[in-house]
């Protein structure tokens, strides 16, 4: 089946021309660093370890491989491959193994409690980067659910996991769980990430709003994570569905927080605007068709989460899948609007809201969106800190 899909995608790529974008000239004057850049995909995504990436790169899609484009211009970039719909914890363990060229270890305590195998793929023959330590740091970029993945990686690198340390012999514990490696990561940038969850999960299940059903189930990528049952028997709390729910995201945020020595940047997206009556409306012209229905429904939804989070009108602006307010920064983390003259580590620098739908900063899905200069400028800014 995968081979059939691959052939189909190859045919599409042959007939769809890539954008004719002139080669960018990168001004490196004023740069203080030039670390490797690692990009982590979102829910239902794929990376360079997946066969389909060679045909249809997640980063760039029809516009061409963004990683190759940036790397050819001196910005060494790599696309990680983590589980499409597994939990933040499991995806983080996979990312760590790819970065270190080791076998995936989900943790002795975690795997036993959550009901799945402890070990996964061995990346010793093909690590994502050549060298990763306190001298050879990395900049991390996470699109959508990839944001939670890179945030948890930073926390575990810094503090480790007391639960895994208590359950595992020192001779067999993964370096991810021992801590003391916060200085391996220079910066974190999240892209349309549902830091505080997304109400798309609610509208996708026809949740009732003020006594009336707001809509039928939405057929977006949110439906890939909608099931409360995992095929391999693991518990629901060990899933993307749980971590992207409003209450699940809040619990995850309590455990993560920012790491003092790392620079944090966040880009939220929006394809919404207020009408003459002050109500949010989805701007569907130019939006990926996949998000049109969910965008309209999120613009109408208000309610209260199971644990009491009030989801008022401030949650209605969205990018088609993620509420703009949720993508700004985790609510309880230190944060400020971006000021290029005052960038502090350990504090979220909230970048200007990007005009685009949920896939725009990935390069678009069926609609090509040129973000090459966007990343050149952003990485250049990071290198200049």
pLDDT at 218 over 90: no
State percent of the chain over pLDDT 90. 81
pLDDT band at 234 (very low <50, low <70, confident <90, very high): confident
Mean pLDDT of 36-62: 95
User: What's the half-sphere exposure (Cβ side, CA atoms, 13 Å) at 113?
Assistant: 12
Q: Where are the domains of the chain?
A: 28-197+247-271+321-383
Tens digits of residue pLDDT in 71-128: 999 999 999 999 999 999 999 999 999 999 999 999 999 999 999 999 999 999 999 9
Please tell me the distance from the alpha carbon of residue 203 to that of residue 211, in angstroms, as a whole number.
Answer: 14
Q: What integer pLDDT is reported at residue 17 of this predicted model?
A: 44
> pLDDT tier at 214 (50, 70, 90 boundaries)?
very low
The full 3-state SS of the chain, as one line of letters, equals CHHHHHHHHHHHHHHCCCCCCCCCCCCCCCCCCCCEEEEECCCCCCCCCCHHHHCCCCCCHHHCCHHHHHHCCCCCEEECCCCCCECHHHHHHHHHHHHHCCEEECCHHHHHHHCCCCEEEECCCCCCCCCCCCCCCEEEEEECCHHHHHHHHHHHHHHCCHHHHHHCCCCCCCHHHCCCCHHHEEEEEEECCCCCCCCHHHHCCCCEECCEECCCCCCCHHHHHCCCCCCCCCCCCCEHHHHHCHHHHHHHHHHHCCCCCCEEEEECEECEEECCCCCEEECCCCCCHHHHHHHHHHCCCCEECCCCCEECHHHCCECCCCEHHHHHCCCCCCEEECCCCCCCCCCEEECCCEECCCCHHHCCCCCCCCCHHHHHHHHHHHHCC
> What's the rounded mean pLDDT across residues 131-150?
98
Question: What is the percent of the chain where pLDDT is above 70?
Answer: 86
Tell me: domain 28-197+247-271+321-383, CATH 3.20.20.70, correct? Answer: no
């Amino acid at each position: 089946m995968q081979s059939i899909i691959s052939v189909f995608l190859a045919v599409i790529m042959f007939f769809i021309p890539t954008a004719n974008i002139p080669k960018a000239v990168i001004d490196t004057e004023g740069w203080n660093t030039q670390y490797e850049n690692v990009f982590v995909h979102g829910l239902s995504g794929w990376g360079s370890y997946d066969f389909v990436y060679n045909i249809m790169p997640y980063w760039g899609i029809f516009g061409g491989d963004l990683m190759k484009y940036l790397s050819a211009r001196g910005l060494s970039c790599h696309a990680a491959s983590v589980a499409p719909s597994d939990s933040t914890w499991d995806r983080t363990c996979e990312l760590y193994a790819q970065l270190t060229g080791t076998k995936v270890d989900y943790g002795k305590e975690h795997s036993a409690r959550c009901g799945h195998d402890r070990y996964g793929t061995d990346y010793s023959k093909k690590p994502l980067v050549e060298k990763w330590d306190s001298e050879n740091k990395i900049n991390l970029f996470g699109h959508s659910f990839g944001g939670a993945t890179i945030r948890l990686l930073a926390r575990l690198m810094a503090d480790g996991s007391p639960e895994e340390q208590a359950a595992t012999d020192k001779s067999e514990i993964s370096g991810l769980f021992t801590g003391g490696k916060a200085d391996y990561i220079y910066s974190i940038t999240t892209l349309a990430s549902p830091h505080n969850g997304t109400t798309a999960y609610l509208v996708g299940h026809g949740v009732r709003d003020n006594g009336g059903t707001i809509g039928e189930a939405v057929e977006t990528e949110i439906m890939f994570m909608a099931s409360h049952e995992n095929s391999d028997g693991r518990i629901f709390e060990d899933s993307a569905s749980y971590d992207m729910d409003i209450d699940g995201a809040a619990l995850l945020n309590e455990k993560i927080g920012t790491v003092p020595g790392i620079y944090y940047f966040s880009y939220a997206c929006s394809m919404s605007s207020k009408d003459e009556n002050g109500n949010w409306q989805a701007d569907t012209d130019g939006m990926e068709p996949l998000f049109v229905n969910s965008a309209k429904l999120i613009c109408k939804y208000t309610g209260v989460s199971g644990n009491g989070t009030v989801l008022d009108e401030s949650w209605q602006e969205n990018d088609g899948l993620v509420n703009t307010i949720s993508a700004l920064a985790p609510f309880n983390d230190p944060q400020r609007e971006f000021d290029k003259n005052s960038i502090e580590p350990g504090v979220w620098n909230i970048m200007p809201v990007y005009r685009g739908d949920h896939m725009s900063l990935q390069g678009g899905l069926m609609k090509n969106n040129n973000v090459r200069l966007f990343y050149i400028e952003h990485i250049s800014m990071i290198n200049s800190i």
